[in-house]
Structure 1
Amino acid sequence: MRARLFDRRSDSSALTVGVLGVGNIGMVHLQSALAMPDVSVVAAADALSENRDRAERAGVPRTYDDYVDLLESETIDAAIVALPPFLHADAVSHAADAGVDVFVEKPLARSTEEADEMLAAADRGGIAVGVDHTLRYQTDMRGVRRAYEEGRVGHVPYASMTRLNDSPLGRPPAEDDPPAWPHDPDAAGGGSLFELGIHCFDLLEWIFGDLEVRDAATGHSLDVPVEDAATVLLRSPATETMITLHCGSYQWEELPEVNTRLRLEGITGSISNDQFLPENFYASAARAALENVAKRFTGEEPDVFAPTFYLEAHYDALADFCDAIRANERPPIGGADGRRALELAEAAYDCVRTDETETELSEVMP
């Protein structure tokens, strides 16, 4: 990366930020940035007028219907890329042309090949790339890692992780048509393995080091073009730990409940993430959720942080990125980390395709 990255900010003024995409996760990032000291959100872009209106109500001075127009018209230090995956590469390319650092929602790209092109463009433009892998910032996951590194259960021969939520279809009855892109493999890159597994791959390598994909299987509970269930068998050569990962978008999830489970089976006991949930988490989160429901009836904007500490992890991830940019340092979770998670997902898909081919051959051979 060019030296420009490390000398681009010399003053003490607020970091100026633009938000590209203010849908569901984009609003989380927007409200995070608005709440941060020494960060100034100067503009947001979204193709939908209702999303732009919501951003303006939140306090954004200017909005655009095209993120390219924002990047060309505004003088900003960083852009939060909260667009669908099929737009990530184009947004990063335009940001690189403008000399704007980027914080990209996961998955970084739709493939490692596309990620390589994005990182090459970022290198040419001398910009930093951060990736929103927020599981590392959850207090429960940090508690698991800390306990493991302290050796509380000794050697861990086996670990398991599950991440479930509902698909873009949501809980019936559907009030609005769901977006089309999450069920389009060309637009999203994949199904639940990309939407949910990407986070899990990153977290598991953060705990156990480099992983190998040993086998994988995918399934369909719903009649959609992408998998809504995936199970992956992984191994850590460094720790000799075998890990099963299951992710699926077939189970309804309502805040404050977050359907993520991580369990380490050590030789002297077990460590699980539910041991590290904040005190009185469910009671306080349920109360905050009810308050948000009441706010909707009165026309007030809900507090995106209140229902669960999971959303606070997005704040912490973005804050770390902004601190790194302000200090002319590399983001703590960078483009290489985002690419690595994609590499593991692709290895899992390769296992699925191999198994399917072998099954087909066994069926036709005498």
Structure 2
Amino acid sequence: MRDFIRRRLSGSDSLRLGVLGVGNIGTVHLKSALAMSGVDVVAAADTIPENRDKADAAGATRVYDDYTTLLEAETLDAVVVALPPFLHRDAVETAANVGVDVFVEKPFARSTAEADEMLEAAADAGIRVGVDHTLRYQPDLVGLKGAYEDGAVGHVPHASMVRVNDGPLGRPPVEAAPPAWPLDPEATGGGSLMELGVHCFDYLEWTFGPLEIRDAMVDSTLDVPVEDAATILLEASETGTAITLHCGSYQWEELPEVNTNVRLEGITGTIESAEYVPSNFYGSAALSAISNVLSRFTGGEPDVYGPTFYLQAHYDALEDFVASIRADETPPVTGEDGRRTLEMVETAYEFADDDRVETDALEVVS
């Protein structure tokens, strides 16, 4: 009989959680879970010693250097998969083998084919799959969606969305070389479209309903092996809204500036997400920044929640997933939702490849 029956009947009132991967975003998930009532962070795993030390200092009960060992050794209800994308499939399948529900960092997988294998393993094991698409929880974007649904600008013939940051290279001066995997298309499945586009596709479909991609182009603004800029033209099937999306990882990020903006051109006016940034955002971000600077001089740990505007969304997404597990319900953002964003990424790549072929042909003819 599957291990998950034993795990579900362990008798603990707390949801027993493991965190697989304690890098940047894994630390956010770890500290989020530690701050939640009714959640027991039983264990964390990471191959990097410094990350294991960080997890131990944060409050994980036990720390492992291998996630497969953790999954076999611990009695868990759920795990957060915050590993690089090339490890997502193995981690989900290993969790399925021991009957543990999974909350997977985006992108859910590197391709729809890989996602299908993960979803099949989850279905066979009877486990639930959630995905960390946090734009659904970001206050400004939630506010914009609410205003649109309330009819603030009536019908919207055109919408635009821009999401840019500095990607894996970071803002200069860079103190250390970035990890190799974020710039490896085999490890990630792609560049900006995969890293940022999946978030945008998820938010836009959540807001407007089913989308169809009409055209796409990708570019490398920097000398890197993956695209760091992508522009996509979409149409919302139900509303007829034309949407332009641009995402890129070529711009130095100026936190606490908000690096995502959505603008709706409605028949009665225009609204954009910047109007719904909480009034206390910049004040709280400034306090967090001061605290983090002071921590460098005192040897303390920087506050992972500062600026809280972004990272609170991760907390809320994980909290919603945990609540769904407790209630024996489908997670609010499912593995199928994660797969859908990958399908749209692949379609955009196909359009971009077709455009390149046509352009090359024209150059040869001329």
TM-score grouping bracket, smaller chain normalisation: over 0.9
Measure the CA separation in 2 of the matches of 1:316 and 1:104: 14
SS in structure 1 at match of 2:319: helix
Number of the residue aligned with 1:106: 106
RMSD of aligned residue pairs (Cα, Å):
1.6
Number of the residue aligned with 1:180: 180
Measure the CA separation in 2 of the matches of 1:245 and 1:287: 33
> Once the 2 structures are TM-superposed, how far is the Cα of residue 357 of structure 1 from its aligned partner?
1.2
Number of the residue aligned with 1:75: 75
Measure the CA separation in 1 of the matches of 2:258 and 2:277: 11
Number of the residue aligned with 2:44: 44
Measure the CA separation in 2 of the matches of 1:199 and 1:136: 9
Number of the residue aligned with 2:202: 202
Tell me if the contact between 2:8 and 2:77 (Cα under 8 Å) persists in the aligned partners: no
Moved more, 354-363 or 62-71: 354-363
Number of the residue aligned with 2:225: 225
> Once the 2 structures are TM-superposed, how far is the Cα of residue 315 of structure 1 from its aligned partner?
0.1
Q: Give the count of matched residue pairs.
A: 363
Measure the CA separation in 1 of the matches of 2:293 and 2:122: 42
Number of the residue aligned with 1:318: 318
Number of the residue aligned with 2:295: 295
> Once the 2 structures are TM-superposed, how far is the Cα of residue 171 of structure 1 from its aligned partner?
1.3
Number of the residue aligned with 2:247: 247
Number of the residue aligned with 1:283: 283
> Once the 2 structures are TM-superposed, how far is the Cα of residue 173 of structure 1 from its aligned partner?
2.1
Number of the residue aligned with 2:237: 237
For residues 231-273 of structure 1, what are the alpha-carbon distances to aligned partners after superposition, in whole Å with 9 as ceiling and x for unaligned?
0000001001000000000111133223111110101111111
For residues 146-180 of structure 1, what are the alpha-carbon distances to aligned partners after superposition, in whole Å with 9 as ceiling and x for unaligned?
10001110000000000010021111221111011
Tell me if the contact between 1:234 and 1:242 (Cα under 8 Å) persists in the aligned partners: yes
Number of the residue aligned with 2:163: 163
Number of the residue aligned with 2:270: 270
Map 1:4-153 to 2 at 5 A: 8=8, 13-153=13-153
> Once the 2 structures are TM-superposed, how far is the Cα of residue 293 of structure 1 from its aligned partner?
1.7
> Once the 2 structures are TM-superposed, how far is the Cα of residue 306 of structure 1 from its aligned partner?
3.0
Measure the CA separation in 2 of the matches of 1:189 and 1:286: 36
| Seq. identity, % | 66
> Once the 2 structures are TM-superposed, how far is the Cα of residue 281 of structure 1 from its aligned partner?
1.5
> Once the 2 structures are TM-superposed, how far is the Cα of residue 9 of structure 1 from its aligned partner?
6.2
Measure the CA separation in 2 of the matches of 1:306 and 1:258: 13
Number of the residue aligned with 1:257: 257
Tell me if the contact between 1:9 and 1:328 (Cα under 8 Å) persists in the aligned partners: no
| Structure 1: runs of 5+ lacking an equivalent | none
SS in structure 1 at match of 2:68: helix
Tell me if the contact between 2:232 and 2:245 (Cα under 8 Å) persists in the aligned partners: yes
> Once the 2 structures are TM-superposed, how far is the Cα of residue 364 of structure 1 from its aligned partner?
2.8
Measure the CA separation in 2 of the matches of 1:183 and 1:349: 17
Look up the equivalent residue of 2:206 and give its one-letter code.
Answer: W
> Once the 2 structures are TM-superposed, how far is the Cα of residue 8 of structure 1 from its aligned partner?
4.4
Measure the CA separation in 2 of the matches of 1:22 and 1:319: 18
SS in structure 1 at match of 2:287: helix
SS in structure 2 at match of 1:154: coil
Tell me if the contact between 1:255 and 1:289 (Cα under 8 Å) persists in the aligned partners: no
SS in structure 2 at match of 1:168: helix
Look up the equivalent residue of 1:271 and give its one-letter code.
Answer: I
Moved more, 248-257 or 18-27: 248-257
SS in structure 1 at match of 2:169: coil
SS in structure 1 at match of 2:242: strand
